[in-house]
Amino acid sequence: MSETTGPIALQVEGVRSGYDAVTVLKGLDFTVGNEIFAVLGANGAGKTTLLATLARLIPLMAGRIRFLGDDVSSLPPYETASRGMGYVPQENGIFPDLTVLENLSVGGMMGERPRDERLAEVFELFPDLRSKRAQTAGTLSGGESRMVACARALMQDPRVLLLDEPTAGLSPIYVDMFFEKIREIHRTRGVAIVLAEQNATKALEVADRVMVLTLGEAYAVIDARDVTTEQLKEAYRI
């Protein structure tokens, strides 16, 4: 298992979670430093379950989650969000009946800095959203909705950003742009990023380390520069 880089953002110890009688995550142990940490795995491997568990939307069956050193295992999601956990779910990451600006303002309700300062930053990161700010979010394209969901989470000034397959279903040009933004967010804001992905090639391009999930178990945490996409695909059939 490779070493964590930078201060520890998340520490996951013996975490089991799932849905009622179904245990999906079967005892995970890993840490996330100030890095881009990719979670790879096939459909149904447990990536979404893991991110929702980290965001404290799914109760733990066992184990412990520390966020910036504090045990957050029994805290509600709004509490972890207000401490700086930004979550961009795989689906339904926006309020469809609100405008783009209103969506972003909801994110801006947390944190200290003036809303307009943060808005200027997210519009700089996603310039397309500035001209669409009065548009009802439900009428945006898939790529634009993804940008809004991500921008809304950034409006919270997160310390850790959980991104669940942010580019799934997007056209190649959006995919490349989005991965570039992920890198930029990490580099310029110092936000640790947990990125759930099926696209191993792209994940390896941006990640510092990757964890491969297979049926709810972590098979490895690997330094991204020590492994090729072909090796990953062959070893884990993703």
Q: Which residues bind Mg ion (CB under 5 A)?
A: 47-48, 90
Angle at 161 between CA 159 and CA 165, to 5 degrees: 175
Which residue among 10, 15, 24, 211 contacts ligand ATP (CB under 6 A)? Answer: 24
DSSP annotation string for 2-57? PPPPSS-SEEEEEEEEEETTEEEEEEEEEEE-SSEEEEE--TTSSHHHHHHHHTTS
Provide the token pair at 26: 């079967």
Which region, judged by CB under 6 A, interacts with ligand ATP, from 5-13, 42-50, 68-76, 138-146? 42-50
Minimum distance, C-beta of residue 191 to ligand ATP, in the bound complex (Å): 22
**Amino acid in position 38:** A
CB of 115 to ligand ATP, least distance (A): 33
* Site stretch for ligand ATP (CB under 6 A), options 1-9, 18-26, 73-81, 183-191: 18-26
Cβ count within 10 A of residue 15? 21
Q: From the list 11, 136, 198, 214, which residue makes contact with ligand ATP (rule: CB under 6 A)?
A: 198
The entry of Mg ion, ligand ATP, none near residue 41 (CB within 5 to 8 angstroms by kind) is ligand ATP
CA-to-CA distance for 37 and 82, rounded, in angstroms? 22
Residue 65 gets which letter from DSSP? Answer: E
Dihedral pair phi/psi, residue 25, rounded to 5°: -95, 120
89 counts as binding ligand ATP under rule CB under 6 A: no
**Residue span 43-62 as binding mask against ligand ATP, x where in contact by CB under 6 A, dash where not:** xxxxxxx-------------
Residues that bind ligand ATP (CB under 6 A): 19, 22, 24, 41, 43-49, 90, 198
